[in-house]
Structure 1
Amino acid sequence: MEQQPNQPSPENIMKIGTGFWASKILLTAVSFQLFTRLAEKKTMKANDIKNILGLKCTDRNVYDFLDALTIFGFLKREGILDTAIYSNSLDTDTFLDKNKPSYIGGILEMMNNRLYTFWGSLGEGLLTGLPQNEIKKSEDFFGLIYSDPEKLKGFINAMSGIQMGNFMAFAQKFDFTQYKTLIDVGGSAGLLSLMVARHNAHMRCTSFDLPPVEPVANATIQQFGLSDQVKTASGNFFTMPIPNADVVVMGNILHDWDEENKISLMKKAYDALPANGAFVAIENIIDSERKQNVFGMMMSLNMLIETGTGFDYTFADFNRWANIAGFKSTSIIPLTGPSSAAIAYK
């Protein structure tokens, strides 16, 4: 029977309520490196996938797993069941093949290995206002990763993956013609600086982060062959001044902190800029009516899980903080998906 307009339906309730099923299917495929294996072979039958991944479940379970990924648009399929031949979709072949520089799966690996479990305690986080990550076991997550080169590399890959599309868009959409230098505060692997340099030959960029990050960033810079335009600098942006530049960028930095620290960081950016310089925050800026950017609101809740006091924000929030910090005007540039570049001019 066709549903009549304005009649109640449980469809969206069930779609969202079972959303973690879909999430775990994708995260599991990434953890198995399924898309990387398929990129190597181009096409594979279900039984070959079962064998190469070492799956011990029934054939029917394998079909369900692969066909769900097909319905979601992550795989392509010709044939059905035992005659089916699978291959990557354009998106997964581009972004989830670990052998390609465009790989963004690092953030999905971190979601599977860490955040999937921690988000099970969202209710506790809302009730207590406390972080729900490693700190519950008296473990300092950032201390753990910065003391272990392999964990640090995985974390950097995760942070790079979630922002790569935004960095590419920003490098091409922002007008750099009146600027010569840029510093990316909390620059991680240096990808934002590299994207800006690649698309703006006159720019000289610096990726600024803690000392243990510098070797990773330098390796990335060498990989891109842009060492003449992109350099690294080490330091703590809370305990020392931000180095001077025409453009100061923070990508997914402000949302880690409470309002007081957000304003403090924006004031430090202001002090690092010349007259008419630009401060840029690249984040999941929530729409002012709080009706559209649901990813921004989910990321804000993720900051509760990770930090307890951090949160994502609207452009109106950014404008208020920019005014307090002393900036004369602001603008916003939509980037990819739910992300934008909020800009404050000195």
Structure 2
Amino acid sequence: MNHPRVPSSEERTSSVTTHTSLSDASSPEGLIRLGTAFCDAKILLSALELDLFSTLAAKPRTLPELSDALGLHPRGARDFVTALVTLGVLEADGELFRNSPAADRFLDRGKKSYAGGFLERANSMLYPAWTHLTDALRTGEPQVKGKDGDIVAQMADSREHLDQFLTMMDSLNSQVAPKLAAAFDWASRTDFVDVGGARGNLSALLIDRHPHLTAQVFDLPHVAPAFDDHMKRLGTQDRISFTGGDFFADPMPSGQVLVMGHVLHNWSAEQRLGLIRKAYEAVEPGGALLVYDRMVDERPADLVNLLISLDMLLVTHGGSEYSVEECRDWMTEAGFARTEAKVLSNTDSLVIGHKEG
């Protein structure tokens, strides 16, 4: 089925340069640089692991002071810190080092704007898994450790894994929520259900923008204590409720609007269609299903989303990114009367399915 086309990544009005190749691949030097780009990544991830940015947020420090605070050996400290300056996340002022404005805002754990949750998860799980990409390409199997590569089971068994996952989700949906709040006509709705909504961070942010709404989060039962704690911290416990369940085994809670954000890419195409069908049953007449993910174009040119799709290969049993067209077709097959697609951000696309009244 053909639908009006959502703009491709190349057509989006964005100055983000990470949508293209990381370096020139037309020369030996460029190829070597491309093949060692993992070094840049690990320098940043190690800095986050050492809590360097939160340390410098308190005050600028000299190299000996910073080394002391972080427990760095003198052999690598200067090169490490100088590399961070070269990468643009630190600034040097004489002998003093400080965070760049962006690092200070987004990589200091003490700030509400902290966006390092995804990077923490990348450091502990994705970076090791990517060393086995060749195996994944040959076998189609996930490459994470434990529980036969089942990250959902890992989170059920380990509060550490769960907390890290929830922090990652918070950092991602904190960036998406303001855009989702503006991309849909929430004024005509009174409630929504966030399917796979983790500890309710997205719901809280949407309600902050649209105070007339109430919300329900639907996620696995072991997420409930983390949800309760988070809602109490945000003061939203009276307006957002939690329902525990497995969306493959249990019916989804009904609501005027159902939201499925960064959920479908974890599963195979057949499972996605099944989930959309269940969502159709749960959406009230006249309501809507909102799906957002890092969708890829039919002729992908977006390196960022292709890398996320390969992340799914490495950490799930059937997941990948998918196209806007595929998502619209699944919604139509499930019964939605009309679909529309929008660019939600530099990386995320939004597909809306409207159910007849």
- Shift in Å at residue 92 of structure 1? 1.4
Deviation per CA, 1:254-308, whole angstroms, max 9, x where unpaired? 01111110000001111111233111112101123212x2211111111111113
Matches within 5 A, 1:1-346: 8-10=26-28, 12-41=30-59, 43-58=60-75, 61-79=76-94, 84-135=95-146, 138=148, 140-291=150-301, 293-346=302-355
**Helix, strand or coil at the partner of 1:237:** coil
Q: Matches of 1:330 and 1:57 in 2, distance apart?
A: 59
- Shift in Å at residue 220 of structure 1? 1.2
- Shift in Å at residue 313 of structure 1? 0.7
Q: Matches of 1:144 and 1:307 in 2, distance apart?
A: 12
**What is the number of equivalent residue pairs in this alignment?**
332
- Shift in Å at residue 216 of structure 1? 0.8
Q: Matches of 1:14 and 1:320 in 2, distance apart?
A: 42
- Shift in Å at residue 72 of structure 1? 1.9
Aligned CA distance change for structure 1 residues 265 and 146 (closer, same or farther; 3 Å): same
Aligned CA distance change for structure 1 residues 15 and 338 (closer, same or farther; 3 Å): farther
Report which stretch shifted further, 263-272 or 145-154. 145-154
Aligned CA distance change for structure 1 residues 336 and 68 (closer, same or farther; 3 Å): farther
TM-score (structure 2 length as normaliser): 0.88
Q: Matches of 1:120 and 1:170 in 2, distance apart?
A: 35
Report which stretch shifted further, 326-335 or 19-28. 326-335
User: Percent identity of the aligned residues?
Assistant: 34
Structure 2 spans left out of the alignment, 5+ residues: 1-24
- Shift in Å at residue 16 of structure 1? 2.4
- Shift in Å at residue 67 of structure 1? 2.1
**Helix, strand or coil at the partner of 1:275:** strand
TM-score (structure 1 length as normaliser): 0.90
Q: Matches of 1:15 and 1:9 in 2, distance apart?
A: 10
Residue pair 1:119, 1:305 contacting (<8 A) in 2 also: yes
Residue pair 2:142, 2:149 contacting (<8 A) in 1 also: no
Structure 1 spans left out of the alignment, 5+ residues: 1-6
Residue pair 1:182, 1:245 contacting (<8 A) in 2 also: yes
Aligned CA distance change for structure 1 residues 140 and 262 (closer, same or farther; 3 Å): closer
Residue pair 1:278, 1:343 contacting (<8 A) in 2 also: yes
Name the aligned partner's letter for residue 322 of structure 1: M
Residue pair 1:279, 1:345 contacting (<8 A) in 2 also: yes
Q: Matches of 1:321 and 1:12 in 2, distance apart?
A: 41
**Helix, strand or coil at the partner of 1:274:** strand
**Helix, strand or coil at the partner of 2:136:** helix
- Shift in Å at residue 165 of structure 1? 0.2
Aligned CA distance change for structure 1 residues 225 and 172 (closer, same or farther; 3 Å): farther
Q: Matches of 1:213 and 1:12 in 2, distance apart?
A: 45
Residue pair 2:207, 2:213 contacting (<8 A) in 1 also: yes
Q: Matches of 2:244 and 2:277 in 1, distance apart?
A: 20
Aligned CA distance change for structure 1 residues 211 and 54 (closer, same or farther; 3 Å): same
Aligned CA distance change for structure 1 residues 278 and 15 (closer, same or farther; 3 Å): farther
RMSD: 1.9
Q: Matches of 1:166 and 1:268 in 2, distance apart?
A: 24
- Shift in Å at residue 12 of structure 1? 4.4
Name the aligned partner's letter for residue 81 of structure 2: L
**Helix, strand or coil at the partner of 2:215:** strand
Task: Give runs of ≥4 in structure 1 deviating > 3 Å.
Answer: 7-12, 137-141
- Shift in Å at residue 160 of structure 1? 2.0
Residue pair 2:193, 2:216 contacting (<8 A) in 1 also: yes
Q: Matches of 1:333 and 1:87 in 2, distance apart?
A: 39
Residue pair 2:332, 2:339 contacting (<8 A) in 1 also: no
Q: Matches of 1:218 and 1:238 in 2, distance apart?
A: 23
Q: Matches of 1:144 and 1:296 in 2, distance apart?
A: 25
Q: Matches of 2:339 and 2:265 in 1, distance apart?
A: 18
